[in-house]
Amino acid sequence: MAEILVITSGKGGVGKTTTSASIAMGLARAGRKTAVIDFDVGLRNLDLIMGCERRVVYDFVNVVHGEASLKQALIKDKRFDNLHVLAASQTRDKDALTKEGVEKVLKDLAEDGFDFIVCDSPAGIEKGAFLAMYFADRALVVVNPEVSSVRDSDRILGLLQSKTRKAEGGQRVQEHLLLTRYNPERVERGEMLSIADVEEILGLKVIGVIPESPDVLQASNAGNPVILDEQSAAGQAYTDAVARLLGEERPMRFTTAEKKGFFAKIFGN
């Protein structure tokens, strides 16, 4: 049975698309047949992060409106042939998606034997974000250790508990928290909220912590999701998060500051 996983956050710019790309790639690399759908109609970007922007012919809205088949619109990844991308429309607006249309696409993907359907939500709490979360079985809430992101995440957690198909049926979407852009040095200096702070405020344990890393920008530049960069701390942290999503237990890495030398201590770096 296909599991529908929404990647959401409320606030923009926290790393939803980066996370969707890496998580989808990680699930495919772990042998799961995975589709990743960009719900940000009008502001398509997942294709760029996945490195398939020049191969988009038909998009999600075309499929919803019956202008193309799902098969025509799914872009097969060049690195993993069990990974498919469904791009957002760049020309239509967010009203081009309907609940029935989205439900049909998800159902068809499930019937095609996909194990995971990753829904990359747009920012905000409007129609696109609502549709991305509505059918979810699980949700990965991406949060930065920063006041506005934490507050918006709490709002999104509230919506997941009330405005989803599961909630309406008296069930619960399984929620996970992914802390990104984490800087252990700044946390140790008392300048940034810690993992424990965020967990305490939101009442949820993190499933992964992605350290702030220049490798993320480099990965986006190249269209290679950062999870493929095995040298990178951010990439390895995403690999751990995928393993935990699949039920494995792994200790957290990259969450404490590296020991500084004598001079760095004196001058406070």
Q: For the CB of residue 264, give the shortest distance to other proteins in the complex, in Å.
A: 8
Query: Which amino acid appears at position 7 of this protein?
Result: I
Angle at 205 between CA 158 and CA 168, to 5 degrees: 30
What one-character-per-residue DSSP string does 162-194 give?
Answer: TSSHHHHTT--PEEEEEEEEE-HHHHHTTSS--
What one-character-per-residue DSSP string does 27-45 give?
Answer: HHHTT--EEEEE--TTS--
Q: For the CB of residue 203, give the shortest distance to other proteins in the complex, in Å.
A: 9
Out of 197, 217, 248, 257, the residue judged to bind other proteins by CB under 8 A? 197
Integer Cα distance of 41 and 205 in angstroms: 31
* Strand pairing report for 75-76 and 83-86: antiparallel
Integer Cα distance of 231 and 239 in angstroms: 12
Is residue 194 within the footprint of other proteins (CB under 8 A)?
A: yes
Q: Which is nearer to other proteins, 76 or 265 (CB)?
A: 265
95-to-42, 119, 129, 200, 267 alpha-carbon distances in Å:
10, 17, 12, 37, 55
Is residue 154 within the footprint of other proteins (CB under 8 A)?
A: yes
Is residue 183 within the footprint of other proteins (CB under 8 A)?
A: no
- Of 50-58, 85-93, 199-207, 248-256, the window that binds other proteins (rule: CB under 8 A) is 199-207
Name every residue whose Cβ is closer than 8 Å to that of residue 1 and which is 6 or more positions away in sequence.
110
Out of 81, 93, 158, 248, the residue judged to bind other proteins by CB under 8 A? 158
Out of 100, 162, 247, 258, the residue judged to bind other proteins by CB under 8 A? 162
Is residue 193 within the footprint of other proteins (CB under 8 A)?
A: yes
- Of 128-136, 175-183, 189-197, 244-252, the window that binds other proteins (rule: CB under 8 A) is 189-197
Out of 192, 216, 226, 234, the residue judged to bind other proteins by CB under 8 A? 192
Is residue 267 within the footprint of other proteins (CB under 8 A)?
A: yes
- Of 6-14, 45-53, 170-178, 190-198, the window that binds other proteins (rule: CB under 8 A) is 190-198
Integer Cα distance of 154 and 132 in angstroms: 17
What the block records as the tokens of 43 is 């502001």
Is residue 57 within the footprint of other proteins (CB under 8 A)?
A: no
183-to-179, 190, 251 alpha-carbon distances in Å:
10, 11, 18
Is residue 104 within the footprint of other proteins (CB under 8 A)?
A: no
Q: Which is nearer to other proteins, 165 or 260 (CB)?
A: 260
Q: How many CB atoms lie within 10 A of CB 42?
A: 16
Out of 147, 217, 222, 257, the residue judged to bind other proteins by CB under 8 A? 147
Is residue 168 within the footprint of other proteins (CB under 8 A)?
A: no
Residues near other proteins (CB under 8 A): 146-147, 150-151, 154-155, 158, 162, 187, 189-194, 197, 200-202, 264-269
